[in-house]
Structure 1
Amino acid sequence: MSSLEPTAAYARDLTRIETANSSGRIPVVFIHGLWLLPTSWARWAAVFEEAGYAPLTPGWPDDPQTVEEANAHPEVFAGKSVGQVADHFCDLIGKLDRKPVVIGHSFGGLITQITAGRGLARASVAIDPAPFRGVLPLPLSSLRAASAVLGNPANYHRAVPLTYEQFRYAFANAVSGEEARELYDTFAVPAPGEPLFQAAAANVNPWTEAKVDTTSADRGPLLVISGEKDHTVPWAIANASYKKQAHNEHAVTEITEIPGRGHSLTIDHGWREVADTALAFVRRFADPTS
């Protein structure tokens, strides 16, 4: 176990993995992105459990259990890199008896593609995924959404919270002001700055950790989901990621756009449409009765 993995959190994840293994069901591992916690997947996990899967919502290393705890101790988020987080999830996935489905949002979507490239996923869904090396578009809206972190180089080693106004632009631009405030109060937590700097520099750093093996013969089927109105990961980025992945000759690669949705599409009032889209794809390649 790495020093980044707190004993209690790691032990909880191991217990849940044991439960998934004993169920005999196909596991589905959900990976959250920046400024959220594993609890953001609670409703998704219930849907997939009802559909016959064994859902798992492990955190990033050091994730607190609650939003209140996270906001009271923001320092626990600092110092997490893409490579460290990817290795953390790959370690947990390696303890499953059956190869899982992996579903991730934003930077969780990038981690999802890293795990798939390592041959660890039965099928994958990357929702508004953060870009990796080789994904070239850099829309102005993405730069503005990331400016809360990238605007200060000292944030590289810090945990950075979003103000409500920053969250409204980066996540909740496609919902009402009332819902945006509710989402902010319910879900928003600080996030490590390092992954954003890594993604921003991925195309000029040949040693970057923000890279994906898109040609792996063991990658498995992949669906990219894009929110039409996403400011943080707009269609240009999601589609460029899809095009890189579509060169894989060994597995199905698909993309779909959810109309009228922003970056909060996994947690806002329309989350069920996105969950059902992901579930329909997963069922095609990972039959829960098999």
Structure 2
Amino acid sequence: MPVAAAAPPIVFITGAFVTTACWDEWKQFFEAQGYTCYAPAWPHKAAPAAELRRQHPHSPIAQSGLADVLRVYAEFIRQLPVRPIVIGHSYGGLLVQLLLQQDLVAAAVAIESAPPLGVVAWSWPMVRAVLPMLGLFSSVRTTFLPTFAQWQRYIANGLPLAAQQHTYEHLLAPESKQVIRDVLSLQAHIDFNRPHAPLLFLAGGNDRLMPAVLNRANYRRYRHAGSIRAYQELPGRNHALLGQPTWREDAALVLDWVASLEPPPLSRCV
């Protein structure tokens, strides 16, 4: 059923290593339900993935840190007439939590989220996937670009080869090593005891990069008794959840959760 005209807009928060094209189908889905939707690009990433890959390894993307990316979304949201619903995937899930902490959103969904500082859960595949992205023995002045083999193993595991190749070519962009390292800094700190707008965590049962055990640990850290939070694990989903054949089912789940919330007063950001 289409939403009321006064419903908050939706801002989609993109993760690392991809472009906003990862949200194309989700945007169309929610727009068909009557929502006004936005998917702002990260700094230096407002271009097709193939063009961004041609700039690697000396891409201006390497200049960005967590604070730079967060600022893009915070400033965008502050220009909206009311607080939006924010939906973020992977690194975008961490950005969602930081925006929530700034009291900039009406409700938030963190899908297969990167963890805030101090949230840990052991997973050997995750360690093997993330360590190269940190580029610990290379210059932060250059970008990191996953190989197709890394994409297959940690992002699109379980998908047919043709789907793995399509998503790699259509979505993959080089990324700033500084952005990845900043997850381990105080910039990624969350005060889990403070009140917050409703927050939903979705985890992929087959996610090797940000596994369900990590998302569950993140969810459990939120302790404010008066704030709404929810967690659900989705069986069979890898880290490329947004584009799996089940994406429409997952988008509908998010839609139902948002619709279940008592409509908050529409208010501007400050």
Same-fold status (TM-score > 0.5): yes
Query: Which of 88, 101, 124 is matched with 2:72 structurally?
Result: 88
Output aligned runs, 1:10-159, within 5 Å.
25-74=7-56, 75-150=59-134, 152-159=136-143
Whole-Å separation in 1 of the counterparts to 2:229 and 2:214:
16
Deviations 1:178-210 (A, max 9, x none): 2111211111111111122222x34xxxxx211
Q: Is residue 210 from structure 1 mapped to residue 168 from structure 2 by the alignment?
A: no
Deviations 1:189-235 (A, max 9, x none): 11111122222x34xxxxx2112233332x21000000001010001
Note if contact 2:17-2:174 (Cα within 8 Å) is conserved in structure 1. Answer: yes
Q: What is the CA distance between 1:243 and its match in structure 2?
A: 0.4
Note if contact 1:159-1:190 (Cα within 8 Å) is conserved in structure 2. Answer: yes
Note if contact 1:26-1:286 (Cα within 8 Å) is conserved in structure 2. Answer: no
Note if contact 1:229-1:260 (Cα within 8 Å) is conserved in structure 2. Answer: yes
Whole-Å separation in 1 of the counterparts to 2:191 and 2:214:
17
Q: Is residue 169 from structure 1 mapped to residue 150 from structure 2 by the alignment?
A: no
Whole-Å separation in 1 of the counterparts to 2:123 and 2:207:
11
Change (3 A) 1:25 1:76: farther
Q: What is the CA distance between 1:151 and its match in structure 2?
A: 5.0
Tell me the equivalent position of 1:264: 240
Whole-Å separation in 2 of the counterparts to 1:238 and 1:250:
21
Whole-Å separation in 2 of the counterparts to 1:182 and 1:173:
13
Q: What is the CA distance between 1:64 and its match in structure 2?
A: 2.7
- 1:126 is paired with a residue whose SS is strand
Any stretches of 5+ residues in structure 2 without a counterpart?
Answer: none
What amino acid maps onto 2:237 in structure 1?
Answer: R
The 10-residue stretch of structure 1 (27-36 or 182-191) with the greater mean CA deviation from structure 2: 182-191
What amino acid maps onto 1:210 in structure 2?
Answer: A
- 1:90 is paired with a residue whose SS is helix
What amino acid maps onto 2:103 in structure 1?
Answer: G
Length-normalised TM-score, structure 2 = 0.90
Note if contact 2:89-2:111 (Cα within 8 Å) is conserved in structure 1. Answer: yes
Tell me the equivalent position of 1:198: 182
- 2:244 is paired with a residue whose SS is coil
Q: What is the CA distance between 1:25 and its match in structure 2?
A: 4.6
- 2:250 is paired with a residue whose SS is helix
Change (3 A) 1:78 1:137: same
Q: What is the CA distance between 1:153 and its match in structure 2?
A: 2.9
What amino acid maps onto 2:219 in structure 1?
Answer: Y
- 2:200 is paired with a residue whose SS is strand
Change (3 A) 1:285 1:157: farther
Q: What is the CA distance between 1:175 and its match in structure 2?
A: 1.3
Change (3 A) 1:155 1:110: farther
Tell me the equivalent position of 1:248: 224
Q: What is the CA distance between 1:86 and its match in structure 2?
A: 1.2
Deviations 1:99-124 (A, max 9, x none): 10000000000000100111111110
What amino acid maps onto 1:26 in structure 2?
Answer: P
Whole-Å separation in 2 of the counterparts to 1:255 and 1:158:
37
Whole-Å separation in 1 of the counterparts to 2:85 and 2:55:
32
Q: What is the CA distance between 1:55 and its match in structure 2?
A: 0.5
Q: Is residue 184 from structure 1 mapped to residue 168 from structure 2 by the alignment?
A: yes
Change (3 A) 1:24 1:155: farther
Higher relative contact order (CA 8 A, sep 6+): 2
Whole-Å separation in 2 of the counterparts to 1:221 and 1:113:
11
Change (3 A) 1:198 1:153: farther
Whole-Å separation in 2 of the counterparts to 1:173 and 1:128:
15
Note if contact 1:33-1:108 (Cα within 8 Å) is conserved in structure 2. Answer: yes
Whole-Å separation in 2 of the counterparts to 1:287 and 1:267:
29
- 1:225 is paired with a residue whose SS is strand
Any stretches of 5+ residues in structure 1 without a counterpart?
Answer: 1-22, 203-207
Which runs of structure 1 show a deviation greater than 6 angstroms over 4 or more consecutive aligned residues?
none
Q: What is the CA distance between 1:59 and its match in structure 2?
A: 0.8
Note if contact 2:8-2:106 (Cα within 8 Å) is conserved in structure 1. Answer: no
Q: What is the CA distance between 1:79 and its match in structure 2?
A: 2.2
